[in-house]
Each structure stands twice: as C-alpha cells, then as structure tokens.
Amino acid sequence: MTKTLAQLRQGLCEWIGDWWSGTVDSGEKNFLNDAALADKREQAHSGQWVLFVSGTTSGGDDGEIRLIDNYSDEDNKYEIRWWRPLSADLVAAVVYEIHRYHPDDITRALNFARLSIYPYVYRFIDDSTMYVQQSQKEYVLPSSLEGAPDEVYITDIVTIDDELLENNGFENWDSSSDPADWGTPTNLTLAQETTFVWQGANSCKCTSTTSAGSLPQTISGASGYAGQKLTFSAPVYADSATRIRLSIYDGTTTTYSSYHGGAGWEELTVSATMPASPSELTVKVEVAAGTAMVFYVDGTCHLWASRRKPSGTPQPILNYRVNDTLLELPYCPPTGRLIRVVGKGLLSSVSSDTNEMEVSDPQTFILYAASYLYLLEQSAARKPTDSTEIYKEIGRIQARLAQLKRECGMESKAQLRISPDWGT
C-alpha cells in the first residue's frame, strides 16, 4: 500500500496535534475569511503557515505557502492576513491548511525519516528484470535494492503475446460518435457504422477535415514495456492513396507505418521497439492534410507486446557474492533464464502532493515519530539557548520511536545465501 504526500502530511500533523484544513468563504491576494476558524482549538496566529492546496481561480496559487501576519475575529469575519500577495485573488471553496511548521519542512522531515527508519520500515523489492547472458556470472543489481539481496533465484521464462488495445474491434460505443476506450480525435468526426464493416457488428466511420487528423488510444503503464517490440495493426478502408497511416509514439519518438494504397480494405502494420524509459505509449490512426475524406477503421485492430515472464518454480541460488552493486553467481546459469532477486529498498521520496511513498499502517507511525523528531531537532538547532522544553519533547519522542520500532517494525528475513558443506 502507498500513501501520497498529501495523506502523509495530514497523518503526521494529526499525530502531533497540528492539523487544520478549511475552505475559504471569501478573500483576496492578502487575506482570507473562513467562519470555521472560530471553532479552531487554538486560534491561528502570527508565525504559523498557510498552505493553499487547491481550488484557486486560475490554479496559479495552488501549492503556495504564506507566513501568517495576524488573525482577527472582529465583526465576526475570522480573517487571516499575510504580507506577500498571492498571484490571484482567492475565491470561495479554496482549500487551505494551517501549520506551525513550514510545509516544506514537513516534506523534508518525511523524506529524512524514510532513510532513518530503514530497515524497520522498507520497500519490499521483488525484481525479475535480469536475464541470463551467455557465460556470464556477474550482473548489476537493480538500483531499487538497498544492500545485498535476501534471496536470489533462477527461473525459466515464457514469452507471451499480450493484446494491449481496449475495444479493438469498435464493438463498444459510449455514444454514436464516441467509441469506448479510444481517445479524443483530432480533426475527425466519428460515427458508429453498422453496414460497412470488415468484421463484427460495427466499424468506425471517420470523416476528416482538410487538416491533418488522428484517432488515438493511449496505453497505461508505458514504462512496463521498456525495451519491448510492439506491433500495431488495423484494417482500414480508404479510396485515396498516401493519406492514411498508423503510428506508435513512445513519448519521444514516433514510428509510422507505410501509407494506405487507396484501394479499399487494407491491413496496415507498424512495429517499434520501446526505449529504456518510455514516458508514453500512444497509437494512432492518422490522416494527412488534404481534401476532406471518409475512411473506415474496423477490427480487429491489434497492439501486440511480446512479454517475457517467469515460468515454473523458481530455484534458489546459494553461495552468491555481492560486491557493491554487482551480484556474482557461483556458476554461469544456462541462457534463456531469468534471475530474480528479493530484498529490501528505501521508501521513495516525495516532493509533490500526488507523489507516493510505499508505507502503510501501522508502519506510518514509525515514519511520523521519526519525522516529528527531525522537526524538533531542527527547532532546537535554530534556538539552542531556548530549547529546554524542546529537549524534553525530543527525549519523549525518542523513547516513543524506539517503542514503535519494536512493536511495528517490519520483519527482516534472514538471507538465503550459504549452503551447508556436507563434505564429499
């Protein structure tokens, strides 16, 4: 399970009694009014921070942080003011938070704590991306792994052709002009066709303008197809030559098929090998600029990906060695096999509210205690001559953190590494 930075910030602030989230009743660039502030346990005051989470008119203030100058409840306005103006006036329903610690310091504390609580809290790593090379004993360990793996296995692999397209035969329609699962067309008017079909009950009738147009479908999880060869095919009907073609886009490079010959139904095909880190996977049926025309796309369209997956029962490898980032096996495994490593990794860092960290309850309490300890130590460092109460709190949280590690820490598996010497 994972938690976003927004969830972790709320959880930490609730754990230390510092959580307040509200919505603006009215405001401008230098103040906000919220009647709910009257019910806040401790009134907002100078030196606290206000974070604007979402809902500003232009979106330009989302994520902005301001130091509160003063709070006033005169005339029942319940108003917070700050000096540096926002880029846009606040409007009703803007979501904001109030913190006694700067929100950036809270994020920094969470990212520091994810390191300090290892290995009591860790990300479980089960990596099967290393393929056996001929006569090779050394392999680079995955960067997500922290230290040596707990277990190493070798498995057989099987190659499976996966169909990645949804609604690849245009049989499902959200409306008569919107085929399900396909993206928004560019310079094309679509219509469900039930008479002029290649296969099945429906096809997609496409009417182009004089501009270039396309019918796209984006595949989720593009990074999962890194290094794989993908093939996109689609039966297309057209009366005009050199106008219709297919494409595959990997976030950087677009690969095209040859153009349709303009003589009725023709199955177009394009293949592309994905880069090491594809940021997007989108396929399109494209029409070049020219006179307006009608063409048809029907099933079955395909986007094939040949995936190599583990097969059979994994066999443990013993007596391996780890040298920094290299895994040295005791022998050269047969080619055509897969090396699987199991171990622990650090939790992912977070910087924006939608970033996720691989932690769940009750381990989040260890994270919160370590984060709060970081914030307290930073406060004491900034005011070393006025930190008596802070050091008392530091001592209390250190004891609480030790207790949470004992009670909620994740189990560390013994390394499956050395085989017994039974003699000859």
Q: What contacts 24+ positions apart, CB below 8 Å, involve 44-49?
A: 44/20, 44/68, 44/71, 44/80, 44/98, 45/70, 45/71, 46/70, 46/71, 47/100, 48/98, 48/99, 48/100, 49/98, 49/99, 49/100, 49/101, 49/102, 49/103
pLDDT digits (tens, 9 = 90+) for 173-216: 999 999 999 999 999 999 999 988 888 899 999 999 999 999 99
Is the per-residue pLDDT at 165 higher than 80? Answer: yes
Confidence of residue 62 (pLDDT cuts 50, 70, 90): confident
**What is the percentage of the chain residues whose pLDDT exceeds 70?**
92
CA dihedral sign, ordered 279, 285, 290, 293? negative
Confidence of residue 300 (pLDDT cuts 50, 70, 90): low
Residue 274: predicted pLDDT: 86
Residue 202: predicted pLDDT: 92
Provide the token pair at 136.
Answer: 């090779």
Residue 44: predicted pLDDT: 86
Dist. CA 367–CA 124, nearest whole Å: 16
Q: Which of 59-63, 80-84, 366-370 has the weakest average pLDDT?
A: 59-63
Residue 59: predicted pLDDT: 54
Confidence of residue 361 (pLDDT cuts 50, 70, 90): very high
Of residues 142 and 159, more confidently modeled: 142
Is the per-residue pLDDT at 415 higher than 70? Answer: no
Provide the token pair at 366.
Answer: 């260890």
Is the per-residue pLDDT at 43 higher than 50? Answer: yes
List of domains in the chain:
19-100 (2.40.30), 110-121+347-408 (no CATH), 124-156+312-345 (no CATH), 166-300 (2.60.120.260)
Residue 338: predicted pLDDT: 85
The residues, any chain, with a CB within 8 Å of residue 362's CB and separated by 6 or more, are 404, 407, 408
Confidence of residue 424 (pLDDT cuts 50, 70, 90): very low
Of residues 39 and 403, more confidently modeled: 403
Residue 164: predicted pLDDT: 85
Over the chain, what is the mean pLDDT? 89
Q: Which of 121-130, 215-224, 308-317 has the weakest average pLDDT?
A: 308-317
Provide the token pair at 320.
Answer: 């391996």
Mean pLDDT to the nearest integer, 254-278? 91
Dist. CA 332–CA 132, nearest whole Å: 8
Is the per-residue pLDDT at 55 higher than 70? Answer: no
Residue 75: predicted pLDDT: 76
Is the per-residue pLDDT at 57 higher than 80? Answer: no
pLDDT digits (tens, 9 = 90+) for 126-143: 988 788 888 889 999 988
Residue 258: predicted pLDDT: 95
Residue 12: predicted pLDDT: 97
Whole-model pTM: value is 0.68
Residue 307: predicted pLDDT: 62
pLDDT digits (tens, 9 = 90+) for 68-101: 999 988 877 799 999 999 988 888 889 999 999 9
Is the per-residue pLDDT at 162 higher than 80? Answer: no
Confidence of residue 403 (pLDDT cuts 50, 70, 90): very high
